[in-house]
Amino acid sequence: MTRKQPAWLDNAIFYEIYPQSFNDTNADGIGDFQGIIEKLDYIRELGCNAIWMNPCYKSPFLDAGYDISDYLEVAPRYGTNADIKRLFTEVHNRGMHILLDLVPGHTSWDHPWFKESCRAAKNEFTDRYIWTNSTWEGPEGMGSLHGISERCGSVAVNFFSHQPSLNYGYYKPTKPYEQSMDAPGPKATLAAMMDVMRFWLKMGCDGFRCDMAHSLAKKDEDGKGTIILWNKVRAFLDEEFPDAAIVSEWGEPDKSLQGGFHMDFLLHFGPSHYNDLFRCDKPYFGTAGEGSAKEFVDKYLENYEKSERKGLICIPSGNHDMSRLSYQLEECELPLAFAFILSMPGAPFIYYGDEIGMRYQPDIPSVEGGYERTGSRSPMQWDNSLNAGFSAAKPEKLYIQIDPDENRPNVLAQMQDENSLLNSVKRMIEFRQAHTCLQSLGEVEFVSTDYPLVFRRSDDKESILIIVQPKNEPVKVAAKGKVIFTVGGKARMRAGICTVDGVTVAFVKER
């Protein structure tokens, strides 16, 4: 599987920005592009050299911007197209890169494409969405809307009811209304999405994180049709924008990497067992030592081999769709979780605020279709001033309420504390970037999957053995070399044995 890889991904460390909640500069209670520009130096000083920004396009915001009404214009609440272009420039001026969030599987029902598709008279957009031939028949295996238009038919929805599914065709059509992937309508949809990508890449972004990347082709056995579609996208990018990166929300790297994605990141759903590490009743990174990493490692290695060790399987601290990393991990456990995330292959992703241990807010009312996810989307906590430094708006105007705890973590306080989570993460990033074997493309080999979790990262320059002991008891591991870095407690080498404190990650340089 020969693959062109943008060189900047080799040592990329991503910071995910949820723009609504990051930094508000005009006191309307909602974050904006200027707010992101103001905090770029913070992101760079943390050590992150790449950004993934959640959707910022025009939208009715029934799903926090994942319901797009215009792919080529940003939402006025964030700024203008000129403002986002300046954001791209400011990112690049700092030697960083930025991915936009592409939503290729569906639009808002407010999108002009959909409104035209609803007309009875045949037009350019008649087949842009998946319609049955009768208002009384829904699309097989999918949710739908019917009785909403002059057109006779039901339209498939991809997620929420207000998100009609774009038509990329069926891998194995069996119904009269199910068009093949090579039919004119599906081919026009793919071409239109490539035009969207072309527009933003020419504007200056560096690629895309692709939402619900698995959802394009329908009745798609093992993702084979969707893989074909994404390979067409990849061929277009390789020809016109060879330095652009595409990252999939797929959660099955064995499929997404075959589809030409540079990276796939592990999700809180699907077969990865990612939740076993951080988000379950007995997480592996709990000091009680009652969790298990075995199923995670087994699945990770299966995908690692299927992708011929060339694709990047990325492990995020979290994202806007899952509970915060700190929700089921204690304060002393968080640095170890980050040490693991930042020492595995692939590009790590840090969700805004996780680096200071921001807390999940379980009782926040749903905002813009967030429901239980809303608790992970509260405003960034910069300092202990009004609204935690996020906004000068009245508190009741905030997009989502601030963590009400007076002792909530904030950036300024943690910057001033050498032992803070923020400074621990910063040191870990510096350590990763100083050793190429720890970066995206270094090999990984697991030695033990119990307590401790032991694995080796290596390349042609060096080899480092990583000993992860979340359990609150010391452990001895056969090793050769020198301890060069620890997170948590201490580690000592003597006579071929490395003794590692409990709640500690140790890095042993073997060569």
| CATH of the structural domain 443-509, one choice from 1.10.3470.10, 3.40.640.10, 3.30.360.10, 2.60.40.1180 | 2.60.40.1180
Six-digit token pair at 275? 């939740």
pLDDT of the residue at 313: 87
Q: CB neighbours of 239 closer than 8 A, spacing ≥ 6?
A: none
Residues (pLDDT < 70) of the chain are: 1-3, 310-311
pLDDT of the residue at 1: 40
Q: Where in the chain is the domain with CATH 3.90.400.10?
A: 106-167
pLDDT of the residue at 207: 98
Q: Where in the chain is the domain with CATH 2.60.40.1180?
A: 443-509
7-104+185-433 homologous superfamily: Glycosidases (3.20.20.80)
In one-letter notation, the amino acid at residue 311 is G
pLDDT of the residue at 197: 98
The pTM for the full model equals 0.97
Q: Between the CA of residue 172 and those of 175, 176, 178, 222, 429, what are the distances in Å?
A: 9, 12, 9, 12, 46
Q: Between the CA of residue 16 and those of 187, 258, 496, what are the distances in Å?
A: 32, 25, 41
Q: Between the CA of residue 477 and those of 47, 314, 463, 508, what are the distances in Å?
A: 31, 27, 16, 11
Q: Where in the chain is the domain with CATH 3.20.20.80?
A: 7-104+185-433
* 383: nearest Cα among 408, 348, 355: 408
φ/ψ of residue 453, rounded to 5: -85, 120
Is residue 434 classed exposed, middle or buried when 0-12, 13-18 and 19+ CB atoms within 10 A define those classes? exposed
pLDDT in tens, 358-403: 999 998 999 999 999 999 999 999 999 999 999 999 999 999 999 9
Distance CA 401, CA 374 (A): 10
User: Domain 106-167 adopts which CATH fold?
Assistant: Oligo-1,6-glucosidase; domain 2 (3.90.400)
Helix (H) or strand (E) holding 146: strand 144-146
Half-sphere exposure at residue 247, Cβ-oriented, CA atoms within 13 angstroms: 30
* 231: nearest Cα among 241, 249, 246, 253: 246
